[in-house]
Amino acid sequence: MKGKNKFRSVIIGIVVVLLLSLLTGCNLPRESVEFWWDNLGLGEANDVIVDDGFDESEPYDYDSEPFPLEPGDSVDDAAPALTLAEELPGEVDTSVPDGTYVGITTLPDFWDNLEGGHWQGTIEENEITIIVAADGNVSGALIAMRKGDKSTPIDGCVSQINLYTEATLSGQLTETGGAIEMQITRTDEIWRSGCPSGTETKTESGNVQAQVSIIGNRIIKGAVPDYFSFETIKR
C-alpha cells in the first residue's frame, strides 16, 4: 500500500511539472526543478541536466569559436596582403633609346614661303638621319634639295633656281630628349644656260640648335625656331 502511494505521488508530481511547463511556455528554471525533484523523493537534483543552452558542469571556452559573421560578411573581405612587387616600386628605365632614326624636315615649306607660295619645282631630297649612341651622344646628317622648274626660254636663255641644305649633327640626349646642334650649310643656285650671265651660286654656313623630344622610345621630334622642324622614327 505504501509503495502504491509513493508511485501515485510520483505520477502526480510529473503531471504537475508538465502542466507548469505548458503554462509558462518555456523550460522551468533549475531551482524549480530541484524543488520538485527533492520533494518527490526522486534522488539528488545534481543528477539532472537542464537544457538551458550549456552544461554548467563544464567551463565554457569563450575563445574556442569566433564571433558569428554579420549578414553579408565574408572571410574573404579582408584586404589581401601586398606582394613584394606591389610593396617595392620597379626600377624606372632611364636609359637612352639608342639607335638610328630617319625622317623628313619641313624645309620645303620654308622655301615655298620665301617665294610667296609661287614656287614650282621638285623636291629631290629631304631626309634627316639621327644616330643616338647608348651614352646619348648624337651624330647624323641632314640633306634637302629643291630644284625649280626651268624658265621659258627667252632668246635661248634658260634659267633655274635650285636650293640645297646640308647639315652635320651632334649633341647629347637623355631618355626624354635634349638639344641637337646642327652645323648647317645652305646653297642658293641660279643655274643659267644660253644667257649673257652664267650660273650664280651663293653659300651660307652657320650653327643652329634644335630642341628635340623622344616619344615612346621610337620617335624623335624637333624644331629649329623660325626655321624648320622634323620628325624621325627609329629603324
Q: Do 25 and 69 fall within a single domain?
A: yes
- Residue of higher predicted confidence among 133 and 44: 133
pLDDT at 228 > cutoff 60: yes
pLDDT at 143 > cutoff 90: yes
Q: Look at residue 90 and tell me if it is in a domain.
A: no
Q: Do 64 and 165 fall within a single domain?
A: no
Q: Do 180 and 227 fall within a single domain?
A: yes
Q: What is the pLDDT of residues 84-104, one digit of tens each?
A: 444 445 555 557 899 999 999
Report which DSSP code applies to 55: -
Q: Do 71 and 25 fall within a single domain?
A: yes
Q: Look at residue 87 and tell me if it is in a domain.
A: no
Which of 78, 109, 139 is at the close of a domain? 78
Cβ contact 164:186 at 8 Å: yes
Q: Look at residue 94 and tell me if it is in a domain.
A: no
Q: Do 144 and 193 fall within a single domain?
A: yes
Q: Do 67 and 157 fall within a single domain?
A: no
Q: Look at residue 32 and tell me if it is in a domain.
A: yes
Q: Do 110 and 201 fall within a single domain?
A: yes
pLDDT at 49 > cutoff 60: no
Taking the complete model, does pTM exceed 0.75, yes or no? no
Q: Look at residue 91 and tell me if it is in a domain.
A: no
**Whose CA is closest to 120, among 159, 147, 157?**
147
Longest dimension (CA), the chain: 166
Q: Do 111 and 219 fall within a single domain?
A: yes
Domain that holds residue 34: 2-78
**Structural domain count of the chain:** 2
Q: Do 47 and 106 fall within a single domain?
A: no
Amino acid identity, position 205: S
Give the pLDDT confidence score for residue 114 in this predicted structure: 73
Q: Look at residue 195 and tell me if it is in a domain.
A: yes
Query: Which H or E element spans position 137?
Result: strand 137-148
Q: Which residues contact residue 71 at a Cβ distance below 8 angstroms, ignoring those fewer than 6 apart? A: none
Q: Look at residue 46 and tell me if it is in a domain.
A: yes
Q: Do 198 and 111 fall within a single domain?
A: yes
Cβ neighbours around 230 below 10 Å, total: 24
Q: Do 70 and 115 fall within a single domain?
A: no
Q: Do 74 and 127 fall within a single domain?
A: no
Give the pLDDT confidence score for residue 112 in this predicted structure: 82
Q: Look at residue 122 and tell me if it is in a domain.
A: yes
